Chains A and B, each alone.
Chain A
Amino acid sequence: MNGPELLAAHTGILRTKVGACWPGARAVFRGHDLHHDLHNTDWLELYLFGITGRRFTPRQIKLLHGIWVLTSYPDARIWNNRVAALAGSSRSSPVLGLAAALAVSGARIYGGGPSLCAIDFFLRAGQAVDSGRELRDFMVEELKSRYIYGYGRPIDSCDERLPWLASLAGEQGLDQGRHFKMAFEVEKILLEMGKANLRMNYAGMISALGADFGLTAGEFNIFIVPMFLAGMPPCWVEAAEKPEGTLFPTPCGEIAYQGVSIRTWRGRIA
């Protein structure tokens, strides 16, 4: 079935397996009564169950919590946080500021983009090794056509979050996974290749852990949506407490104009 028939078959009704609510009665979440069966569930566990339909162990949930905690930086200079803070300073609403800040976190050079590229790399590297290829050969081939995401950092190649996350993974007995170990092997090979500035970064480590937990790239992409969220409200709150408009006020002279010189609008045709 396709075309208008396909659309007509879906008109006026929601057919779903993921859940529904009947106000005044009950709510169902992926085949379970939310209040009866899931009322004591940890929020992150529920979030992951909603994404994947699978359950995760308490140790995995603890580590996944840690992934979010260790990168919650309330620094209003960081671009996504700055959106939240500017919303506070401009006297917009918290939900608008935080939602927009989350939206811009799906960036090409940090957040969603590199993390998704990194887990995609680890999953494909694992498949290549499974098919008998050497990891180094796969990396050489990969480097011919694209970056290896998960390695390198613009400002300082040392990522301060990694020892803490690696330690947490060890405490939870989750540091022996195939992709986690591969992440360090990739870093070692990159160093041997002379790419000393390509040290593992946070996206590299968290995506390796995500792959070890059986997350697909698409599932991992949704998991990391709120990853920076906890750092954003402090930025909004503080900016809202200060006099309005005082976050990064820019005088006219601080705009470095590099365009064409002054010209006449009416005279442009002549």
Chain B
Amino acid sequence: MSTDKIHTRIWREEAEHDNPFATRAAFCRGYDVYGEMLGNARWVEMLYLLFREEAPSASQTDLLEALAVALANPGPRDASVHAAMCGGVAGSTAASSLMAALAVGAGQLAGGREVFLAMEGWALCGTDFDAWKKRLAGLEAIPGSIWPKPEHPPGFDPHGVSTATHVKQTLACLAGLSSGAFLPWLQQNLPDLETAAACPLALSGVAAAAFSDLCFSPEQGEMLHLLLRLPGAAAHALEQENYGYKRFPFYPVELEDDPAAGEMP
């Protein structure tokens, strides 16, 4: 096992002549980042390039950018943003607020793992409705997995009644931008898929289809979903620090196992 070098297909740096630790030029997938991409490449082009071997096409760039806008802020009702605000409101460090958002936003309810599982669905089922119907009937727990057994079909909202408008708007926009097969198929078959899932599509389900159309793997989609939802968490954490903890909900408690219950009047 080689332990003295870091191996990578992503990044290469050339050193300054006077210092092997200072960068004279940096190349991402062969492109000169500071000498040529800077000022000419869009942020999402760089993002795509980091995960994929080739730069995105124009339509892929537009799709990823639209998806990034849709995911940028889950809003203060979202559990991951709520977690980040718990950091901000008490003056915790910036990194801890983002770590809180990542930890809570990593799970199987609207989080990174849900996107991973939904993308596995696209990889396994593609545009085969019967395969989807079988998968949406329920996933089994993986023995010994650190993740709990999925409690709802990944990519769908277990508490939803009908497809939320912002989900429909996002699906319509992204399906219109996609040069892949999954988003348009999802849009065309949405009523039947929602019937099979017994609950409406969630934004995580749209994101999973979009990442799949962009040819990302489930592992890459999970990472990107975690990453792209952080801006809102960061902004809300800072905002709550300014409001202060006295204006942040602390909620009444109803303790159901109180040893002092008998002593109360």
Contacts and interface: CB of A to CB of B under 8 A. Distances in A.
A149 B146 CA distance: 14
Count class of interface residues, chain A? 35 or more
Contacts of B4: 254
A251 B99 contact: no
A31 B21 contact: no
Interface stretch (B64-72, B177-185, B235-243, B257-265): B257-265
Nearest to B53: A260
Contacts of B7: 256, 258
Interface in A26-54: 26, 28, 30-33, 37
Given A15-B256, A16-B255, A255-B6, A95 B96 contact: yes
A124 B143 contact: yes
A263 B30 CA distance: 5
B40 interface: yes
Count class of interface residues, chain B? 35 or more
B222 to A, nearest CB: 14
A20 interface: yes
A146 B5 contact: no
B8 A257 contact: yes
Contact of A7 (B96, B99, B159): B159
Contact of B159 (A4, A117, A256): A4
A7 B109 CA distance: 14
A105 B143 CA distance: 19
A221 B53 CA distance: 37
B161 A4 contact: yes
A236 B27 CA distance: 32
A106 B257 contact: no
B20 A252 contact: yes
Interface of A: 2-4, 6-7, 12-20, 26, 28, 30-33, 37, 92-93, 95-96, 99-100, 103, 106, 112-113, 116-118, 120-121, 124, 146, 149, 217, 221, 249-266, 268
Closest A-B pairs by Cβ, 7 of them:
A117-B144, A251-B20, A257-B12, A259-B9, A252-B15, A120-B144, A260-B30
Given A14-B254, A113-B146, 8 more contacts: A3-B161, A4-B159, A6-B159, A96-B93, A118-B144, A254-B6, A260-B30, A265-B55
30 contacts: A2-B159, A3-B159, A4-B161, A6-B159, A13-B254, A14-B252, A14-B253, A17-B255, A30-B257, A31-B259, A32-B259, A95-B93, A96-B96, A121-B144, A146-B143, A149-B144, A250-B21, A252-B14, A252-B23, A254-B6, A255-B5, A256-B8, A257-B8, A257-B12, A257-B27, A263-B30, A263-B31, A265-B31, A265-B55, A268-B55
